[in-house]
Chain A
Amino acid sequence: MTAILAVDTSSELCSVTLLLKGECGTELFSKTLEAARSHVQHVLPMVKVLLEEAGLKLEDVDALAFGQGPGSFTGLRIATGFVQGIAFGKDIPVVGVSNLRALAHHVLQNESEQNECFVLIDARMDEIYWSVYERDIEGFPKEQLPESVDKPECVADALKDHTNMPVFGSGLAYKDRISLISNWSECEAVLEHPSRAIAELALIDFEQGKAVSAEQAAPVYIRDQVAWKKLPGRE
Chain B
Amino acid sequence: MLVLGLETSCDETGIALFDTDKGLLADALFSQIDLHVDYGGVVPELASRDHIRKTLPLVEQVLNDAGKTKSDIDAIAYTAGPGLIGALLVGSTIAEALAFALDIPSIGVHHMEGHLLAPMLEDTPPEFPFVGLLVSGGHSQLVAVKGIGEYEILGESLDDAAGEAFDKAAKMLGLDYPGGPQIAKLASFAREELGGTPYRFPRPMTDRPGLEFSFSGLKTFTLNTVNKAKQADSFDDKEKAKIALAFEDAVVDTLMIKCRRALEQTGFKRLVIAGGVSANINLRETLKKMEVKIGASVYYARQKYCTDNGAMIAYAGAQRLLAGQKSDGTAVVKPRWPMDQLEPVN
Contact = CB atoms under 8 A, between A and B. Distances in A.
Given A40-B92, A85-B97, A77 B330 contact: no
Contacts of A77: 48-49, 52, 86, 89-90, 93
B330 A81 contact: no
B134 to A, nearest CB: 27
Contacts of B147: none
Given A80-B52, A84-B97, A215-B57, A40 B89 contact: yes
Contacts of B40: 231
Contact of A74 (B39, B48, B99, B101): B48
Contacts of B95: 85
Interface stretch (A86-94, A134-142, A173-181): A86-94
Contacts of B53: 218
A120 interface: no
Interface stretch (A149-157, A158-166, A222-230): A222-230
A187 interface: no
A151 B40 CA distance: 29
B70 to A, nearest CB: 6
A83 interface: yes
B101 A90 contact: yes
Contacts of B60: 215
Contacts of A70: none
B39 A228 contact: yes
B94 A85 contact: yes
A81 B46 contact: no
Contacts of A208: none
A169 interface: no
B223 interface: no
B101 A45 contact: no
A234 B70 contact: no
A212 interface: no
B96 A85 contact: yes
A48 B45 CA distance: 30
A85 B329 CA distance: 13
B56 A40 contact: no
B52 A88 contact: no
A14 to B, nearest CB: 12
Nearest to B101: A89
Contact of A81 (B43, B97, B100): B97
Contact of A44 (B46, B48, B100): B100
B230 to A, nearest CB: 16
Nearest to B331: A40
Query: How many residues of A sit at the interface, in one of the four size bands?
Result: 20 to 34
A58, A88, A215, A219: which has the most chain B beta carbons within 10 Å?
A88
B229 interface: no
Given A45-B330, A230-B39, A89 B70 contact: yes
Nearest to A223: B45
Interface in A64-116: 73-74, 77-78, 80-90
Contact of A73 (B86, B97, B102, B329): B86
A211 to B, nearest CB: 16
B120 interface: no
Given A73-B45, A81-B89, A218-B52, A41 B97 contact: no
A132 interface: no
A89 B98 contact: yes
A29 B330 CA distance: 22
Interface in B1-21: none
A23 B220 CA distance: 74
A214 interface: yes
Given A73-B48, A86-B97, A41 B330 contact: yes
B59 A40 contact: no
Contacts of A230: 38-39
Contact of A228 (B46, B52, B98): B46
B24 interface: no
B332 A40 contact: yes
Contacts of A42: 330
A218 B98 CA distance: 16
Contacts of B331: 40, 44, 78, 81
Interface string B32-44: 0000001110010
Contacts of A40: 89, 92-93, 96, 330-333
A80 B86 CA distance: 13
Given A44-B97, A229-B39, A88 B70 contact: yes
Nearest to A228: B43
9 contacts: A41-B332, A44-B329, A45-B330, A80-B52, A81-B52, A88-B59, A226-B45, A228-B46, A230-B38
Given A40-B333, A44-B331, A74-B48, 15 more contacts: A40-B93, A40-B330, A42-B330, A44-B97, A44-B330, A45-B329, A78-B331, A81-B93, A84-B52, A85-B99, A86-B98, A86-B100, A90-B101, A228-B45, A230-B39
Closest 3 CB pairs of A and B: A89-B101, A85-B97, A81-B93
